Structure 1
Amino acid sequence: MTLFIEIKNLTVDFDGTSVLKNVNLNINEGEVVGILGRSGAGKTVLMHVLRGVEEYKNASGEVIYHLARCSKCGYIEPPSKVGEECRECGEELQSYEVDLLKLPSNDKNRRNIVKRIAIMLQRTFALYGDDRVIDNVISSLKEIGYKGKDALSKAMELLDEVEMSHRMMHVARDLSGGEKQRVVLARQLVRNPMMLIADEPTGTLDPKTARIVHDVISDAVNSYNMTMTITSHWPDVIKQMADKAIILDKGEIVNEGNPSEMADEFTNLACSIEKECKREIGDKILQVQNLSKKYVSVTRGVIYAVNDVSFDVYEGEIFGIAGVSGAGKTTTSQILIGNVQPTKGSIEVRVGDDWVDMTVPGAENRGHATQYMGILHQEYGLYTNRTVIDNLTESIGIDLPYELAVKKAISTLTTTGFTEDEAKSLLHNMAEELSEGERHRVALAQVLMKEPNIVIMDEPTGTMDPVTKKDVTKSILKTRDKMGDTFIIVSHDMDFLVDVCDRVALMQESRIMDIGEPENVLAPLLEAEKQI
């Protein structure tokens, strides 16, 4: 195989802390490299260095790209194209080697390389939500300066490649998570990429939907002869998709080799959790009766996102809402928190001894309950240009004396899985400097800082590796036992729900099919996952 990228002694520092340490890795043209590592291991930073959009002044070492380049127009191709004609101007492509770390961000050659690299990021769909699917792809063609008169035909062709031609007239925001990721891929394919960087592209999707997306990605990689680096919190994904794999731990490559062997080694790092004896739950705190939410679409008619749903939740309970992508879980959670008005049905929340009608807006009604409720969204957001302590206090309107704010922040961070020393060291870091897993736990701490009685969590383990997922499970159980909070957890992660929930409701096609013990309700889905 032809050598494509050489990474030599790569070290990246943030505020004196090395997030990557002397990383050495060769990536061959056409190779799929899987990257395994728990949250904070440095996976995302490595992916962004390879992408080359950002200029890392705090980086040392080398990231050498071996390429074929047109000396006339600067067009870039992978190294196997040396000696062939440039597709842009017809000149012969010459061998070209460059250290991406040494090129300034405004360098023309750097920009030409970046144009040929596609990326799919975790939790980020990067779509124009109010535009139709076909318009999203056409917009991407315009963004790269596509001059062909057949932009519509080209967009349709790309959507067909990612198996989304049957949704081209749909508004992007109405798509499921898996459908959105396939449109993201179509938008990236307009670049005719030589490389795809996929950072947890299916982290928030259920296994069945994720498999569809993985298959589409694999087909695209083969069709475009792309090189790919991929991270995933599911070791089986690395087994199935990668040609080789590495394990990152605290910024260092600790092992490299066969994907199956690396995935098994990484899985062994995740210890099992035994749920403690069932906690005695309290009285009913939330009741939902005949809840429905329908939308009217010009192209699809009446769509029921939630259809005649009923359930109760008890104080101190960890209640799960399970289902595949598009089942109606997230819409249900948005109705519960008061962000979406239901079409019909009732939701009541107990505050003290009073029951509050959540369908009636206003400070004395819905607003009275929501001040005691918190939600961690699937696509959570922190103020990236603020420090962790700012995010936990000022950014969400908690006005405390500084010393007390620090003490409360550290205490809250420890409930989300950080040690006390880790929490102290994070306080003055900028949110953008944190790993994905660290940001997730800080976002959870941000919710808990408001001292809610009810915490709603939408896909809390969506992009987490097995080790971090176990830490989050422990932190939720610990928080419930320490603070007495009630948790409503929306997730497609069946194993996680079995580990953490007292009861679970299974949603399919906008309806609740069953409610009960997680092991019993989710048994059919767990068995189906094993067959995937």
Structure 2
Amino acid sequence: MLKVNNLVKDYVIDSDTVRVLKDVSFDIKDGEILGIIGRSGGGKSTILKVLRGMEPFSEGSFELDGFTVRPGATHADLTKLHKMTAIHLQRNFGLWPGAAYESVLRRLYAEKCGFEQLPEKDSPYYDELYQRSMEYLKLVNLDKKAEHFSAVLSGGEKQRLLIARQLAANPNLLLLDEPATMTCPATKQEVLDTIKNVNEKTGLKTLVVSHLPEVHSYMAHRVLWLEGGKIVEEGEPEYVLKKFLKKMKPIIPMPQRKSDKTMIKVTDLSKRYWLFRQGEVLDLDKINLEFKEGEIVALIGPSGAGKTTLLHAMDGLVYPDEGEIEFRVDDDWVEMSTYSPKRMDVRRITSIMYQEFALSPHSTVKQQLAYKLGVKGQNVVEESRKRAKELGISDKDLDELYRMTDMPEENSKEKLAKMGYTPAILGVLFPSYPLTEVMNYAKPVFEAVDLPLSVLDVKPYQMSGGENVRTALAIALASKPSILLLDEPFGDLDPITLRDVANSIKNINKTFNTTIVFVSHHVDFIREVA
């Protein structure tokens, strides 16, 4: 049995103490699946990390099958806790590159020798460990894929292989952080069926954190509702989920499209990716699409179908092998896969949000808006060309440097290094906007996403999870782009926050006539917004 008693967790950020867990108490009986639901940023994942020993805690204690952990636990205590628990963190695959059975075999061998490696086939342990690895694969319905390389497994199969690896550690408690989030409906069902089957066959007590009510209603025996670091409700799934969903705002109507003018044309686009030994792993073949001004379009499909690749090709972050992507700028068409001086104009009027979007925890919202306006503001292209000329940077290199302002930081660092630059060059070419002028841009955008202007002076850790998401959306819209591309940045939001975001997107579209193209696996969200 797991017993959690008055758990308190504090973070210190920029000399401020933020309490994220407030006297949390609950228990999990043997054979039980306990679910935790709550608003994004409410502390759900923090509980898992504390119970795994990944995060220290400030007050309280917890007891797992007679073993008690208190604040300031010793290294020996944490080592024991690691052996008694297994965790699968959100969006973390961490699989070995060989055959599926080898990932499980390595985990089993680590229980004997302390580190993950493949035992020699003439080892006295090999036959026994191989048989056990096949039993775990059968438990998650992967025994027929035992010889398949992990890289070629589907998203759902990878999740099931991870569960098999966790089971191989023979834990007393299984901790699951957002299982099946960011997956298509079929993949999600595969994973949920596996978790339920494992629980029924092994009796392993399981703690599942998920923002999706359907996950808990399908497999949880009990549900806790965590709000602002406190448990506000506990009980049967149907009872708790009904109370939780009462906080959803009503759906606002879809705005009417004002124009039939085409803004983006995709013609015969093809893009292929290959992996050594596995062959072709992605094939976009002769895609033809048109997007109208002020239209909201969803890209949906199974995991690995190429939705994100198509979106990144549209933004010029990746270039197609064949075909064209053209954007309307005034009365001209600009093709994105070949250089032209006008390509920077397309990048300026286009904004993108990624799956892994993150606000800087140490900067105020106003400072982050100022940075965005420095990259996407009205006269950025002309001013950056003047600075580039003074520095001896060609227009073509400037275009490539401007492309990097839309990339995640790690990707841009790598490409900058190849060009012989450090990230500092982006600040020189595209300096932040004056803070005194940010308010003029912020007011209409903040109204559209239903945020108070007081948010400008706070840092992200001082806001709720939902406010963080809408703030990131507001920053993406600060320069009033004509086109907004969303690469599933809302896939791991709770339904209440997601409704707020859906309403915000429709308000944005109505207010600014923004053309919006987004990737999502969330069918209900697509029905509301597209």
Q: Tell me whether the two structures share a fold, i.e. TM-score over 0.5.
A: yes
2:348 matched residue in structure 1: 371
- Deviation (angstroms), 1:445: 3.7
- Deviation (angstroms), 1:319: 1.1
Q: Describe the superposition over 1:302-326 as per-residue Cα deviations: whole angstroms up to 9, x where unpaired.
A: 4553233221111221111122333
The unaligned stretches of length 5 or more in structure 2 are: 121-125, 373-404, 406-426
- Deviation (angstroms), 1:394: 4.7
1:21 matched residue in structure 2: 22
Higher strand share: 1
1:119 matched residue in structure 2: 87
2:283 matched residue in structure 1: 305
Q: Describe the superposition over 1:252-279 as per-residue Cα deviations: whole angstroms up to 9, x where unpaired.
A: 2221111121122222322330314413
Residue 300 of structure 2, aligned match among 322, 336, 353: 322
Matches within 5 A, 1:21-60: 21-56=22-57, 59-60=58-59
The unaligned stretches of length 5 or more in structure 1 are: 67-78, 80-94, 502-532
After superposition, the Cα gap between the structure-2 partners of 1:317 and 1:389, relative to the gap in structure 1 and judged at 3 Å, is same
- Deviation (angstroms), 1:167: 7.4
Between the aligned partners of 1:120 and 1:276, the Cα distance in structure 2 is 38
- Deviation (angstroms), 1:111: 2.5
1:145 matched residue in structure 2: 115
1:64 matched residue in structure 2: 62
Determine if contact 1:289/1:309 at 8 Å carries over to the other structure. yes
Q: Describe the superposition over 1:141-180 as per-residue Cα deviations: whole angstroms up to 9, x where unpaired.
A: 68752575537776666555434452754463x6544344
- One-letter amino acid of the counterpart of residue 479, structure 1: I
Q: Scaled by the length of structure 2, what TM-score is found?
A: 0.75
Between the aligned partners of 2:190 and 2:497, the Cα distance in structure 1 is 25
- Deviation (angstroms), 1:25: 1.8
Between the aligned partners of 1:184 and 1:346, the Cα distance in structure 2 is 39
Residue 432 of structure 2, aligned match among 385, 399, 404: 399
Determine if contact 2:273/2:282 at 8 Å carries over to the other structure. yes
Q: Which moved more, 1:255-264 or 1:385-394?
A: 385-394
2:6 matched residue in structure 1: 8
- One-letter amino acid of the counterpart of residue 496, structure 2: V
1:482 matched to 2:511 = yes
2:488 matched residue in structure 1: 459
After superposition, the Cα gap between the structure-2 partners of 1:184 and 1:98, relative to the gap in structure 1 and judged at 3 Å, is same
After superposition, the Cα gap between the structure-2 partners of 1:26 and 1:386, relative to the gap in structure 1 and judged at 3 Å, is same
Between the aligned partners of 1:480 and 1:164, the Cα distance in structure 2 is 45
After superposition, the Cα gap between the structure-2 partners of 1:227 and 1:132, relative to the gap in structure 1 and judged at 3 Å, is same
Between the aligned partners of 2:19 and 2:32, the Cα distance in structure 1 is 28
Determine if contact 2:255/2:509 at 8 Å carries over to the other structure. no
- Deviation (angstroms), 1:195: 1.6
Between the aligned partners of 2:53 and 2:104, the Cα distance in structure 1 is 23
After superposition, the Cα gap between the structure-2 partners of 1:410 and 1:129, relative to the gap in structure 1 and judged at 3 Å, is farther
Between the aligned partners of 2:212 and 2:135, the Cα distance in structure 1 is 31
Between the aligned partners of 1:416 and 1:131, the Cα distance in structure 2 is 46
Residue 103 of structure 1, aligned match among 65, 72, 76: 72
After superposition, the Cα gap between the structure-2 partners of 1:327 and 1:126, relative to the gap in structure 1 and judged at 3 Å, is closer
- One-letter amino acid of the counterpart of residue 47, structure 1: L
- One-letter amino acid of the counterpart of residue 444, structure 1: L
Between the aligned partners of 2:53 and 2:441, the Cα distance in structure 1 is 39
Across the two proteins, how many residue pairs are aligned to each other?
Answer: 459
1:493 matched residue in structure 2: 522
Q: Describe the superposition over 1:70-113 as per-residue Cα deviations: whole angstroms up to 9, x where unpaired.
A: xxxxxxxxx2xxxxxxxxxxxxxxx44333xx134x52112320
- One-letter amino acid of the counterpart of residue 428, structure 1: K
1:228 matched residue in structure 2: 206
- Deviation (angstroms), 1:371: 3.3
1:518 matched residue in structure 2: none
What SS class does the counterpart of residue 459 from structure 2 fall into? coil
After superposition, the Cα gap between the structure-2 partners of 1:444 and 1:243, relative to the gap in structure 1 and judged at 3 Å, is same
What SS class does the counterpart of residue 203 from structure 1 fall into? coil
After superposition, the Cα gap between the structure-2 partners of 1:142 and 1:415, relative to the gap in structure 1 and judged at 3 Å, is farther
Between the aligned partners of 1:27 and 1:131, the Cα distance in structure 2 is 36
CA RMSD of aligned residues (A): 3.4
2:215 matched residue in structure 1: 237
1:512 matched residue in structure 2: none
Q: Which moved more, 1:362-371 or 1:204-213?
A: 362-371
After superposition, the Cα gap between the structure-2 partners of 1:326 and 1:340, relative to the gap in structure 1 and judged at 3 Å, is same
Higher helix share: 2
After superposition, the Cα gap between the structure-2 partners of 1:357 and 1:238, relative to the gap in structure 1 and judged at 3 Å, is same
After superposition, the Cα gap between the structure-2 partners of 1:168 and 1:484, relative to the gap in structure 1 and judged at 3 Å, is farther
After superposition, the Cα gap between the structure-2 partners of 1:21 and 1:232, relative to the gap in structure 1 and judged at 3 Å, is same
1:428 matched residue in structure 2: 459
Between the aligned partners of 2:317 and 2:347, the Cα distance in structure 1 is 10
Matches within 5 A, 1:508-523: none
After superposition, the Cα gap between the structure-2 partners of 1:388 and 1:194, relative to the gap in structure 1 and judged at 3 Å, is farther
- Deviation (angstroms), 1:136: 5.7
1:270 matched residue in structure 2: 248
- One-letter amino acid of the counterpart of residue 214, structure 1: L
- Deviation (angstroms), 1:487: 0.6
Q: Describe the superposition over 1:22-70 as per-residue Cα deviations: whole angstroms up to 9, x where unpaired.
A: 32322223321111212233322333333321113xx33x13214xxxx
Determine if contact 1:196/1:227 at 8 Å carries over to the other structure. yes
Between the aligned partners of 1:376 and 1:365, the Cα distance in structure 2 is 22
Matches within 5 A, 1:200-239: 200-239=178-217
Q: Scaled by the length of structure 1, what TM-score is found?
A: 0.75
Q: Describe the superposition over 1:433-455 as per-residue Cα deviations: whole angstroms up to 9, x where unpaired.
A: 77655554444344334543211
